[in-house]
Chains A and B, each alone.
Chain A
Amino acid sequence: MITLQEYLSVGALLFTVGLLIVLFRQNAISILMGIELMLNAANINFVAFSNALGGLTGQVLAIFVVVAAAAEAAVAIAIIVLLYQNLGTVDVEKARNLNG
């Protein structure tokens, strides 16, 4: 029997993997993918809770998160292109002029 717990576990796993991607990849595009995965992990929680609570609110929340994720991705892509134009790389760890 698949219960709420199983879905939440999938969410937690996805969140952890997304987190690790942000931590261990230096490629800005990969980092963005990691962040998308983190948001998706939250989404599966929303939907699972929605189902368990017997309302549709959670699903609607998930839709909003998808929208926000898309908006973030659009800006992020622009920033990445800009980064590549100015620094000639998409390696975020190479951009460390600002420090101290």
Chain B
Amino acid sequence: MFLLRYIVLPPLIALLANLLLGRWWGRKTTATLACGSVLLSFLVSLRDSYYLYMITLPETRVASDVMFTWLSIGRFEIPVEFVLDPLSGAMCLIITGVGFLIHLYSVGYMWHDPGFRRFFVYLNLFIVFMLLLVLADNLLLLFVGWEGVGLCSYLLIGFWHADMKNASAGKKAFVVNRIGDLGFLIGLLLVFAAFNTLSVSEMQEIISDAIARHLPLPLAPLAATVICLCLFVGACGKSAQIPLYVWLPDAMAGPTPVSALIHAATMVTAGVYMIARLHFLYAFSPFASGVVAVVGAATAIYAAIIGLAQNDIKKVLAYSTVSQLGYMFLAVGVGAYTFGIFHLATHAFFKALLFLGSGSVIHALSGEQDLRKMGGLCRRLPVTFWTFLAGTLAIAGVWPLAGFFSKDEILIAARLAETPLISGRALFAVGLSAAFLTAFYMGRLFVMAFLGPCRVEADKQHHIHESPWTMTVPLIVLALLSAVGGAAGVYHHSFARWLSPLYGAPDAAPPAVEHFVMAASLAVAFGGLALSFLFYLQAPTLPDRLARTAGWLYRWVAEKFYVDELYEWIVVRPVYYVGVAGQAFDKHVVDRAVNWTGGGLKGAGFLLSFFQSGNVGTYAIWFLIGVSILLHVMR
């Protein structure tokens, strides 16, 4: 007996209760309800997933729950049906599990905020829509969740409206997401036109039926490509891929738990999930899959480059998220769905951890987000420091933390991939470079925030404090997950076996390739970290120490100078300029493109409103011209 609807209902009930009755009870009740409901969802998902696991035949590990018939188009019905299979089970666990931790964290983070209740209502609403998105069997229901999470995201970005003097960030997020939705909606209508259904399971049945009986497929290759690309445009918008990534860095205007939950762990991965869910469609179109892989790889490296030159702690993490999402798309693009989802899971752990850690830092520094005004926090914030360290090592890909395993698998899959667009070696090279940059900028972030001298402004120094338990407990749990999550997933291929009913058992890679990739990724991870430590921890003091030990020798002094310059000209400057160039491209080309589209449409609007002169005589003339044209046309 599966209790699928009870996964979704608790947060819904909690949010309704808080919305309608919340004014009569205090923050504690609000918080207990909000967190408890998500915990309950988590437990129910855990239970249902366990029951699913208990089904002996892996192929039949699907459970469904029809709540009611929602609507019907002609003779064709859309029920509100939840489907739990290994994929949605894994997603549910991530959403409710990480979601619960972030809820708990938010209690401490938002305690003094006047919009406490509103915040939790939005957060619960988000969880409801996200669960709807992953549990939906029908693409239309999925789209409801898709739009719903977008709406929540928008509401939460603008949560502190006073801070959003220029609503342009929110506007940008909205415009970009509508472009994505446009693609998605067109894809949806085309799917409907091709299959005459929007139910994923029915689509799959139709296809497998056609293959089994050697019938012509309902879908020409070209049509499959068009559908896949349309849907991918939607995924790009939601998951912040080139060229629709521009909204995500701006979305950091929202409270930090929101960034952790929505803009790192869950919502932005919806695109990856959607492609993984529709993998059978993408299987028909190697071209579309290739596009997904290329866009993913390009985003991975591009966002990593921009991340190098950011000084806002949350902006670094935002670009890092974009980059890691690129990895996931790279994985699903080369057909390694299992590892794409695996990376999604590990990323949810460590990126949520990093965001929450950064939130803890920001909280301690009374809202300071500039990395240049941090430093030396390791003593003052020990829990945050150690957990953040775990997160940094995990994302950098240091063995045996989570990021190493998932990234390693993706790189292997990329290395072995055969796409019609680009060779696997090139994808691998790009992925490896991005891994190097990731390690580098994360090391930089870590050093600038926690190590070295304290550069915090004097007036903020005295009340640096560790956060309350509601904030540190989630950090510790997430740190543990980041540490062991990856190893647990690859232990006996447990994660791959869990998803095997959908994607089949993964092929074992040739050991040579496997070892090579492992060594390379470890090398870049350590290389990147080491280099960043060298630059940002050692370099500032290097000159001093050199001067002290060999101060009596002019030549040494000269050489010291020379070393410094070398650093400056060969490494620091280029890296800096590449980062700045990326940022400039971002600002001047991508942003402008978004603005110009809006401006162009508005200009057209102005032009048209000019015709509306207010003069009724002119209206009559237009009327008459219309009649004349119609008379000419219709004869």
Contact = CB atoms under 8 A, between A and B. Distances in A.
Contacts of A47: none
Contact of B614 (A22, A23, A97): A97
A28 B499 CA distance: 77
A96 B609 CA distance: 14
A22 B613 CA distance: 17
A12 B614 CA distance: 30
A93 B616 CA distance: 6
A26 B615 CA distance: 10
Contacts of A95: 614, 616
A95 B613 CA distance: 11
B538 interface: no
Contacts of A22: 620
A13 B48 CA distance: 81
A86 interface: no
B291 to A, nearest CB: 44
Interface in A4-62: 19, 22-23, 26
B624 A98 contact: no
Contacts of A26: 617
B613 to A, nearest CB: 6
A61 B450 CA distance: 90
Assign chain A's interface to a size class: 10 to 19
Nearest to A98: B614
Nearest to A25: B617
A87 B615 CA distance: 15
B613 A96 contact: yes
A93 B618 CA distance: 9
A92 interface: yes
Contacts of B614: 95-100
B621 interface: yes
A84 B22 CA distance: 57
B621 A93 contact: no
B612 to A, nearest CB: 6
Given A19-B624, A23-B624, A92 B613 contact: no
Interface string B617-635: 1001100100000000000
Contacts of B617: 23, 26, 92-93
Q: Report which residue of B609, B612, B615 has the largest number of chain A beta carbons within 10 angstroms of its beta carbon.
A: B615
A76 to B, nearest CB: 13
Contacts of A97: 614
Q: Report which residue of B614, B621, B624 has the largest number of chain A beta carbons within 10 angstroms of its beta carbon.
A: B614
Contact of B615 (A19, A96, A100): A96
A99 B621 contact: no
A74 B202 CA distance: 64
Q: Report which residue of A26, A96, A97 has the largest number of chain B beta carbons within 10 angstroms of its beta carbon.
A: A96
A99 B624 CA distance: 20
Interface in B580-635: 609, 612-617, 620-621, 624
Interface string B15-26: 000000000000
B516 to A, nearest CB: 67
Interface in A70-100: 92-93, 95-100
Contacts of A93: 615-617
A93 B620 CA distance: 12
A65 to B, nearest CB: 19
Nearest to A99: B614
A93 to B, nearest CB: 5
Q: Report which residue of A22, A26, A95, A98 has the largest number of chain B beta carbons within 10 angstroms of its beta carbon.
A: A22
B467 to A, nearest CB: 54
Contacts of B624: 19, 23
A92 B612 contact: no
Contact of A100 (B609, B616, B620, B621): B609
Nearest to B606: A100
Contacts of A100: 609, 612, 614
Contacts of A99: 612-615
A79 B621 CA distance: 22
B609 A92 contact: no
Contacts of A92: 616-617
A93 B615 CA distance: 5
A23 B616 contact: no
Contacts of B612: 99-100
Nearest to A94: B615
A88 B434 CA distance: 74
A53 to B, nearest CB: 23
Interface of B: 609, 612-617, 620-621, 624
8 contacts: A19-B624, A23-B624, A93-B615, A93-B616, A95-B614, A96-B614, A96-B615, A97-B614
Given A22-B620, A95-B616, A96-B614, 20 more contacts: A23-B617, A23-B620, A23-B621, A26-B617, A92-B616, A92-B617, A93-B615, A93-B617, A95-B614, A96-B613, A96-B615, A96-B616, A98-B614, A99-B612, A99-B613, A99-B614, A99-B615, A100-B609, A100-B612, A100-B614
Interface of A: 19, 22-23, 26, 92-93, 95-100
Q: Which 6 A-B pairs have the closest CB atoms?
A: A99-B614, A96-B614, A100-B609, A92-B616, A93-B615, A96-B615
